[in-house]
Chain A
């Protein structure tokens, strides 16, 4: 099955995220040099490139982890480059980290419940809201979807690595993002489980209507997952296009093999 062809028609032409000429350097080291890319609503876009090519830096720039030197980042027609991490997240742009991050000290279900959508800063009164029945039911549904329902009352920190990864997805789904940035979702995952993970990501995209921008090292994964792919090298976009085009691009192959 080639998933990209089965649901390609769902993507619209509405540009959700537009990264334009973004540059970022640390000290004298240029991590991103005039990077431009865009993600349309409903798409799965891949971001590949050799180690140190600036993929994670670009993610951090988009999510507001650090200010950018120049360029613009527009999300849903709004310039977000000066916003903080939380402000960006509240607008529906979420991310995962290379290292799984969950709330280890509370139960699995609480992890998901407390990730309810936070679209605006709550008033002092709203901060003391109780969890509604609907929120809990929704969290339980999502846990069923990722396959952690049976473990919902366990301490999240006691889950295995793979289960924590699933829990992280559940938390993300709970908070209803419009665009999700995934930083190496298959890193450290047992190869036999990777196919299931790919299917889940496609489900997230289709069932929950979440647009995805994915950093991935595993070529097989990204080729079967993404509709379009950008390739970064030395902090610049060297190639972009359909998976097929990327696979056959001489520039991309050279970048990975280290030729100039």
Chain B
């Protein structure tokens, strides 16, 4: 199916080109645009796991939060004492020099994905052996547990959180900062989308689908299911870790329960975005994330005070009435993804 491959490639290139130029056209919305790309990445990583592998996790937010904290900690510890930094109370203020800031940022962002992957590998080997309801509830508990544990760690700022290094004055205005993180987010999307699409066209993607459709059968055919599942989770966590690192720097202040390990917001949003767009489809997570982002901005602007209620209602409505998502309705039988025809 050469033509569909080409169409997807065109779609991807259009996305990137729009992504590169849109902040120049609408400079006042840079932060919103950056969040849009980050949301898409979150949706893509969740879809790899929930849509392609069939493991519906409520706890992927853990990797987002771990990426966030890893990044911030590595931005601080090469230059300052973490304990003094997180003590708070405003007794002591810290400023990074230009060089320190960027070195720390580079180190932090690079490490965040790997830290998240490492944790995913360890957790995955323990909990990816259970299935269905048990896996879902286990991950739900896991998300809250990690958030609560981090809240109890004094050196990371405990429950009141930790501040992210501020943008150095020498690097120009805050607009430069926003633009930098915007392009980092765009780059992350470009990388994540491309790599996931390439991986899904290999036997790895086909095997994940097999596990999703009938894991007992896959096992009886000799597939090392646990190894595939762990690797799937690790890849998902890898990109989510980066997304966390960038988000943390954009938000500017990390709170364990409401930002980093926010199961009731980011954690469930990433699932909702995938369901809205269409689980297990190529563009579903992308479309779902964009539409959700618009909803969310509208709710925050026009339903102030009620925005969280509206989002809760949105979850129920989507799940109950539109479980197949937007692309799920349009997808016909002839559009079945063919691994064997995409080579």
Q: Do A and B touch directly, given a CB cutoff of 8 Å in the complex?
A: yes
Assess whether A139 is interfacial by the CB under 8 Å rule.
yes
Q: Which of A122, A158, A175 contacts B221 (CB 8 A)?
A: A175
State which of B198-206, B243-251, B252-260 sits at the interface with chain A.
B198-206
Is B280 an interface residue when CB atoms closer than 8 A count as contact?
yes
In the complex, chain A residues whose CB is within 8 Å of the CB of B210:
103, 106, 114
A113 at the interface (CB under 8 A from B): yes
CB pair A118 B336 closer than 8 Å: no
Task: Given A114-B207, A158-B333, check contact A85 B217 (CB 8 Å).
Answer: no
| Segment of A69-77, A89-97, A197-205, A220-228 in the binding face | A89-97
> How long is the Cα–Cα vector from A129 to B228 in the complex, in angstroms?
13
Q: List 5 A-B contacts (CB under 8 A).
A: A105-B209, A106-B336, A107-B338, A110-B338, A136-B343
Interface centre among A95, A103, A107, A119 (most CB of B within 10 A): A103
Q: Which of B201, B207, B224, B336 contacts A154 (CB 8 A)?
A: B336
With A129-B202, A175-B222 in contact, do A154 and B340 touch (Cβ < 8 Å)? no
Q: Complex formed: what's the CA distance from A158 to B227 in Å?
A: 30
Contact A153 B203 (CB under 8 A): no
Say how far B14's CB is from chain A's closest CB, in angstroms: 26
Q: When A86-B219, A86-B225, A90-B222 are in contact, do A103 and B202 touch as well, CB less than 8 Å?
A: no
A259 at the interface (CB under 8 A from B): no
A104-B214, A105-B209, A131-B206 given; name 17 further pairs at CB < 8 Å: A94-B222, A97-B217, A101-B216, A102-B213, A102-B217, A104-B213, A105-B280, A106-B210, A106-B337, A113-B206, A118-B223, A128-B202, A128-B204, A131-B343, A139-B340, A153-B338, A154-B336
Is B221 within 8 A of A118, CB to CB? yes
Looking at chain A's contact residues, the main secondary structure is loop
**A88 — nearest CB in chain B belongs to which residue?**
B222
A233 interface hit (Cβ, 8 Å): no
A102 near B222 (CB under 8 angstroms)?
A: no
Nearest to B231 among chain A residues (CB) is A127
Asked if B339 and A106 sit within 8 Å, CB to CB, the answer is yes
Q: Does B220 contact A (CB under 8 A)?
A: yes
Task: List, in ascending order, chain B residues with CB within 8 A of A121's CB.
Answer: 224, 227
Contact of A63 with B by CB under 8 A: yes
Against A, the Cβ 8 Å flags (1 = close, 0 = not) of B312-343 are: 00000000000000000000011011111101
Give me the 9 closest cross-chain CB pairs, A-B, nearest first: A89-B222, A103-B213, A101-B217, A118-B222, A114-B206, A90-B222, A121-B224, A105-B213, A128-B202
Cβ A107 vs Cβ B221 within 8 A: no
Complex Cα distance, B341 from A136, in Å, reads: 9
**Chain B 120-137: CB-based contact to A (< 8 A → 1; otherwise 0):** 000000000000000000
Partner of B222, one of A86, A104, A124: A86
Q: With A and B bound together, what is the CA distance between A103 and B202 in angstroms?
A: 17
